[in-house]
Structure 1
């Protein structure tokens, strides 16, 4: 019988991966820290400082929504724009010196990114009826993925600014992991009725911190977890209630006045805004607001994402989660580059999902089938992920392209990436249907 070199301990691919995974991760993380220290942001973590200041104001006389951080971005002061519950979530930070918070935040972000990737791989395994505990996923492959993902632009900017999006993504993927392991299969240990509360709580908690993750409720409904979706709504309502008990004036102010006001957040037409409103506005040459052009764009995107979900509805939970989260990002008035950390689960599905070798989820043989569509997804992701909008914008300006439809197209990779994914799914619908 031929020896399986993929799992051999004497120099096969799996053995090589074991040897390089941890050093590669440590080198990538160390290089990212050096980048932060030496780069233009110089370890200032502007968004984390806003969270930190909000934590100080939970019990202070100053209003939660009356301050704006100006020390590091005087040309664009940064106010606190999250629901009041987010300030309560960040409250423990006030008891630590900011340098400790900053170092801990980098470590937390990197650690949670590793956990997210490992859970994504476990979700894919569950979709195939394979053992799907986290311990069933060898840690070497998630380490390699994490090393690469640390340099993808949305993750890179999360680390530079001290953003919370990787934390929120962890809640969403964790909920999906619980749902996936509750699917009927003799190899799965979790009973469906025991995961509805936990998965709903995670989605509702994320929505309480930042409203956009509430779209995760659609994922729960798409997977038939109705009670989980209900519990997510109950949990979100509880976060509002807790906020009202502790910060009544600020809670009323946020939900009756500030909610929906994009003015304090920034210009929706900026290239940093990768939502549909930003993309359409750049094509139009002005902010289209929430008028007919934006409504049509959202409806078209929703229809395409729904069509893709319909093809894979009987498949794994990961792609359903990715499609739903991108719907939330695209439909939101403003989704900055650092909100698009969901590009990482997208890549995991493309490489290790059902379109990969042998139906996917083979941790010993990473690599998509290198079909034209998979290559297109990888290409768009490379532009979006590793070049980044800021560097791409400078490159286009250097050759005289700083306006017009071509510029607007290149400034919309956050829209292009999920649309190419949709095209991949629709083009491969027969193969996908045969695999589920």
Structure 2
């Protein structure tokens, strides 16, 4: 009986329940205040344009459709909302771990999933998500479910919702096109279009403002020079002591993103779906004008994917995201503009880490390392083919 308890879902349910209780008791999550304010604005029929949350003084920077999804958080008491988003984030983290393990052909007993999910909290992007009450882990699991299992009925709908909430996951639609999953990509885009339409239907004023002029304003989400912005745009802003010229940013960020997505498609087509998806995520993060450190929750599946090939690099990546070197330096209130050359190297740690992974993935692809472990490749194939055969058998019956 104890063995069955450990291998089943009970350990995961226990950590989710514990996180829910802790979240409800702690509360006071910065971004959760903003989410609840957005949901309340939808209920009141007021526009989000030019308004700020009265508690934290921060604007709601997502598309209006995301505000519609925040209505339940506005209806619930603050402590209930804090518990719900904390528990949901931990549950999503556990699902990410389980998806990654199964995709790699590795066992995923409940106790191991719970241990790895709790261990992942040591990564700065993860605990920042929990402490802010953010939704990045929830969006990540929505993307992974669709991109790792594109043959599911209705695949693409979760990805479309994720794009409707935060736009940047649209890069995974491009990945699906590159790997030949155009039907899924079409469903994702159709679902995204539906989210835009729903936003105009429920909050026409907010939608007109967002899609009209606020969308292209990168500064609406915060100062891009802040050390926590670990994107190419943020690095260039700190280096040049001002926001970079558009052409320079597009040349550097666009090139890096295209390489990462193209490389991700190459690995995905050769059976390394998890690694290919994570490389695409890196392209999304470095190319986004603002990629706050809590956006980098993709470090969790990335470490698991790289671990299957090289444990040394995986350990280095994990260490960088645990240490978050950019806070070792003076930051905030424009202090980043005074960084010396070596401080820029330290302060852009997440960006350099992603570049290192891309370089490794290019070299590994040239050496032909994809699915080089025949046992691993066979197990992954079995994990994918068996459900398909069972589904065909059921339909024939």
Do both share a fold (TM > 0.5)?
Answer: yes
> Residues 71 and 91 (structure 1 numbering): CA distance in 2 closer, same or farther, change over 3 Å?
closer
> Residues 434 and 213 (structure 1 numbering): CA distance in 2 closer, same or farther, change over 3 Å?
closer
> Residues 28 and 287 (structure 1 numbering): CA distance in 2 closer, same or farther, change over 3 Å?
farther
Q: How many residues align?
A: 365
Measure how far apart 1:220 and its partner are. 1.7
Alignment check: 8 A CA contact 1:55 1:94 kept:
yes
Alignment check: 8 A CA contact 2:139 2:162 kept:
yes
- Look up the match of 1:386: 322
Measure how far apart 1:70 and its partner are. 5.0
- Look up the match of 1:139: 110
Matched, 1:211 2:167: yes
Give the TM-score of the pair, scaled to structure 1: 0.75
- Look up the match of 1:53: 37
Q: Secondary structure of 1:264's partner?
A: helix
For residues 322 and 202 of structure 2, the distance between their equivalents in structure 1, rounded to whole angstroms, comes to 43
Alignment check: 8 A CA contact 1:52 1:90 kept:
yes
Which of 290, 301, 326 is 1:334 aligned to?
Answer: 290
Alignment of 1:170-319 (within 5 A): 170-179=141-150, 182=151, 195=152, 198-303=154-259, 306-307=262-263, 309-310=265-266, 313-319=269-275
Matched, 1:169 2:112: no
Alignment of 1:93-132 (within 5 A): 93-125=73-105
Q: Secondary structure of 2:369's partner?
A: helix
Measure how far apart 1:289 and its partner are. 4.7
Matched, 1:407 2:356: no
Measure how far apart 1:169 and its partner are. 0.4
Alignment check: 8 A CA contact 1:204 1:235 kept:
yes
Alignment check: 8 A CA contact 2:30 2:133 kept:
yes
Measure how far apart 1:377 and its partner are. 4.2
For residues 403 and 328 of structure 1, the distance between their equivalents in structure 2, rounded to whole angstroms, comes to 26
- Look up the match of 1:432: 369
Q: Structure 2: 5+ residue runs without aligned partners? A: 332-336, 378-397
**What do the CA deviations read for 1:295-329 (whole angstroms, capped 9, x no partner)?**
23431453255346435631221111111111111
- Look up the match of 1:87: 67
Give the TM-score of the pair, scaled to structure 2: 0.82
Alignment check: 8 A CA contact 1:393 1:402 kept:
no
Measure how far apart 1:260 and its partner are. 1.4
